[in-house]
Amino acid sequence: MSLLAQRITRQVSLAAPSTSKRLFATAVDVEALTKAVSEPTQPSKAELDATRQRPPTNVKINPDHGLWAFFRKDKEGKVLTLEPAHKTEDFSGRSWHAVELRRKSFKDLHTLWYVCLRERNLLATQRAEFRRLNIGVDGTTNLMDKDKRVRKTMKLIKLVLNERRLAYEQAKALWDQGQHAPAERAESLLEEPSEPVASPST
């Protein structure tokens, strides 16, 4: 008998007359009570379906919503949750080289950074969809290779921007050192040498 049943039996035995028949009846009722408390009844499936709130199906979705940018679209504009097999099995392409990125303007690098960021979001969405459908990602698709190439491009963009920042700081430091007499330096460059230059002997 559980601790709860013993306490209730003790309280009932103190309050009730001391007949063994009555104590036995109260002990059986207490056991039924403790069993009902310890094992709650599960609601039926019909009761669960009646109380469960389902999302409405007639909600109009904006086709230009920003979250659709996490999915690729085909030529007709239809959203693809997974890319076709001929695209996921294509292992061509490469990342940008630092030499190519050094020729780009700040605006082009900024735009390319956000193109790469959007591509990484697309790839992460597709990986999550593959995982949800229990499809292997590593060996059969090029999603991991694409993600590696995009990350390498973003790393090189940061490298090129850091090079430009260091070059700017060095140029500014040189300018600050020679700023006190730029006119004198320009005049000294334009002056003719004081000693005549000897002509080469023939």
Q: What's the length of the chain?
A: 202
Rounded Cα distance, 122 and 129, in Å: 11
Tokens at residue 125, please? 């969405």
**Positions in the chain whose pLDDT score sits under 70:** 1-41, 50, 52, 54-56, 84-91, 137-140, 179-202
DSSP label of 103: T
Residue 105 has φ and ψ, to the nearest 5°, of -80, 170
With tokens 């090079």, the residue in question is 163
Cβ neighbours around 146 below 10 Å, total: 20
**What's the pLDDT score for residue 2?**
58
158-178 burial, b at 16+ Cβ within 10 Å, e below that, comes to eebeeeeeeeeeeeeeeeeee
pLDDT tens digits for 135-170? Answer: 776 656 778 888 899 999 999 999 999 999 999 999
| pLDDT given at position 201 | 54
CB 112 within 8 A of CB 153: yes
Residue 8 DSSP code: H
